[in-house]
Amino acid sequence: MRLYPLLFLLLLVAGALAVLVGSGDLADPELRDTFLELRGYRLTAAFMAGAALAVGGVVVQGLFRNPLASPSVLGTTAGASFGGQVALLTYGLTGTGGSFVVPEMIVPVGCFLGALAALAVLLFFLRITQDLLALLLTGFVLSALFLSLSAFVTSIAQETWELGRAVVSFSLGSVSGTGPRQLSFALPLIAAALLACWAWGRSLDLLLSGEEEAQSLGANVGAVRWWSAIWVSVLVAGAVSVGGNVGFVGLVVPHMMRPFAGTKHQALIPAAALAGGIFLVACDIIARIIPSRSEIPLGVVTGLIGAPLFLLLLVRLRRERALA
């Protein structure tokens, strides 16, 4: 079967299940519309976040010429997550996020500010040194820094039981509380960044041969790295703002799609976007149907499915290398 008809079919099935499955009785005429509306938002959020993370993974894997890279290596994921937690904490402790932001927008805005802060540091170092290893290490250090800051926020939040629960639940990832405002905030940003990544696709193809060859073939390597870092950060910030911190999508989905869509970025990016969206919608359905006292966090489901899937891919990747 051709790739795109199959992906659209899967999307249709996943979308239908996402609307129909879950706690809450659709037979109740009074509550039916509300349930459908909430599940629609939830489906949209999961799809957007999945698409954003998968494409972020494609770009970062090309940028670093490393199939084991995921969008979080830039450190902007940890930045966005930290920003979201600080926003939650501020709101929880003061009951206000400042008069200029409506309450439900506090977390998304916080995520973007956090990602921007991490990105600013990253670009500052990218300006000083063009070295790829330096970029990787800066991202690594930023991740470590923001993760410890997040741990600090979590420990402060523990003082109030409800707040602590909200902060922890956010850091584990969930699309359950996403509403129309959050979606309409993140959608244009994610859409713009997806298009931009696709437009940089040909330059990213050149980078697959390494910096020197890419340069000799006419790529402006510095500009490709600079703009890729920016667009991946926007994707990640958008994903975290509607879905919290969800791992493994950006790592696994590009690998799942390469054998079908090919390695060239302009072919891979649309396929990865669709597949990433479907993957996260499916994970969200699983999070809802696994019996548990409360819903299983989305980040836990992607990890539980993503990790074994990734190990399988790793085995296959090694086998292909051995053939080459």
Partner 1 sequence: MRNDSSMTALRAQGLSVTLGGRRVLQDVTLEAQPGEVLALLGPNGAGKSTLLKVLAGLLPYEGRVEIADTDLASLAPRTRAKRISYVPQRSLLRSALSVEEVVALGRYVHGGRFGGTSSNDQDAIDRALETTHAEALRDRIFTQLSVGEQQRVLLARALASDAPILLLDEPTAALDVGEGLAVLRLIRQLTARKHTLIVVLHDLADARSTTDRALLLKEGVVVEQGKTADVVSAGPVRAVYGVKLIENARIGFEPDVETSGAE
Name the residues that contact partner 1, by CB under 8 A: 65, 199-200, 202-203, 205-206, 208-210, 212-213, 215-220, 258, 262-264, 266, 320, 323-324
| Rounded CA separation 198/196 (Å) | 5
Our CB check for partner 1 shows the closer of 200 and 248 to be 200
Minimum CB distance to partner 1, residue 223 (Å):
9
User: Please, what is the minimum distance in Å from the beta carbon of residue 125 to partner 1?
Assistant: 20
Contact at 8 Å (CB) between 172 and 244? yes
210-219 — which CB contacts under 8 Å span 24+ positions?
Answer: 210/65, 211/132
Beta carbon of residue 311, minimum distance to partner 1 (angstroms, whole number) = 20
* Structure tokens given for 307: 């990790």
Contact present, 171 and 247 (Cβ < 8 Å)? no
Query: From residue 153, how far is each of 86, 143, 157, 159 by CA, in Å?
Result: 7, 15, 6, 11
Residue number with CB closer to partner 1 (114 or 201): 201
**In angstroms, what is the minimal distance from the CB of 179 to partner 1?**
35
Which CB, 116 or 208, lies closer to partner 1? Answer: 208
- Residue closer to partner 1 by CB (options 225, 258) is 258
Q: How far apart are CA 87 and CA 109, in angstroms?
A: 8
> 2 or 321, CB closer to partner 1?
321
CB 240, CB 88: distance < 8 Å: no
Residue 315 C-beta: closest distance to partner 1, Å: 17
Tokens of 74: 């830039």
Q: Output the smallest distance, CB 67 to partner 1, in A.
A: 9
Measured distance CA(85)–CA(92) in Å, rounded: 10
Residue 265 or 288 having the CB closest to partner 1: 265
Nearer to partner 1 (CB atom), residue 168 or residue 208 = 208
Number of helices (H), then strands (E), belonging to the chain: the values are: 13, 0
DSSP per residue, 263-287: S-HHHHHHHHHHHHHHHHHHHHHHH
Nearer to partner 1, 134 or 217 (CB): 217
Residue 35 burial by CB count (10 A; 0-12/13-18/19+): exposed, middle or buried?
Answer: middle
Please, what is the minimum distance in Å from the beta carbon of residue 210 to partner 1?
Answer: 4
Instruction: Report how far residue 269's alpha carbon sits from residue 56's, in angstroms, rounded to the nearest whole number.
Output: 9
Query: Shortest approach of partner 1 to residue 40 CB, angstroms?
Result: 32
